[in-house]
Amino acid sequence: MRRLMALTAVVAFAAVAAEARDISKMNGSIRVANDETVRDVSTLNGSIAIDDEARARDVSTVNGSVRVGKRAAVRSIETVNGEIRLGDGASAASIEAVNGEITIREQGRVAGSVTAFNGEIEADRGVEIDANVENVNGTIEIDGALVRGRIETVVGDVEIGPGSRIVGGIRVEKPESAHSGGWNRRKDHPPRIVIGPEATVEGPLVFEHEVRLYVSDRATIGTVEGATPISFSGARP
């Protein structure tokens, strides 16, 4: 039922956006005002702000950050050099950054994947992500959120906080197996994987190179391949 409602909302938005305007700049920042509906928003050098309860289709910049306000809705968000922030209750179909942090605030919703090549990813309490959350290098922190896909990284740390649920499991790839064209980076220390109290990882935990895996004695996890879990009590290891 929830997926049907989400699809209905996307179709309705597409009908409105068909009559809306595009916003494009070579240089300079762009702001979409509260409650405004636009189509594609893009700039080469500059930041983009989608204000509270605004609507946009594809949002992209090369050098600049993207901020999406509370309860705003966009289809896709992309940036090369800059952070992405999705506000409380905001929604997107997919989010991708190359060099920059991705933050999804409380009750945010992403219908597709969340990808950062070289950057941290943080999902707050009540967030729902329907596909994978993945990066190459940078911490992935899931704090009371639901991820219906899998957590994937190469040399990043992973923090699964209290009350989080990861349906598809966790996978840490070999650095040489990531086809990322120069993004293969080895750390001086193995990735640190922490599964906190009352957290659930339903799928398998697969580690293709050395990691430090810490699992709360009050967490629930699937099968583990390639690492030996270290049990801990309390809030953190």
pLDDT tens column, 49-87 = 999 999 999 999 999 999 999 999 999 999 999 999 999
User: Cα separation of 80 and 14, whole Å?
Assistant: 26
With the CA atoms of 184, 188, 189 and 191 taken in that order, what torsion angle do they form, in degrees rounded to the nearest 10?
A: -20
Q: What pLDDT shows up at residue 121?
A: 98
Angle (CA) 143 32 29, round 5°: 90
DSSP H helices in the chain? 2-17
Strand partners, 172: 153, 207
Per residue in 152-169, pLDDT (tens digit) is 999 999 999 999 999 999
CA distance 186 to 113: 24
How far is residue 53's CA from residue 66's CA, in Å, rounded to a whole number?
15
Can you tell me the distance from the alpha carbon of 73 to that of 54, in angstroms, rounded to the nearest whole number?
7
Q: Which regions of the chain are under pLDDT 50?
A: 1-13, 15-17, 178-185
Q: Whole-structure pTM over 0.85, yes or no?
A: yes
What is the four-CA torsion angle of 168, 93, 138, 162, rounded to 10 degrees? -50
Quick one: how far is CA 67 from the chain centroid?
14
For residue 183, the model assigns a pLDDT of: 41
In whole angstroms, what is the distance from residue 213 CA to residue 163 CA? 18
pLDDT of residue 90: 98
The beta strands (E) that lie in 51-144 are given as: 58-63, 66-68, 76-81, 84-86, 91-92, 94-99, 102-104, 109-110, 114-118, 121-123, 128-129, 133-137, 140-142
Domain ranges of the chain: 1-104, 113-237
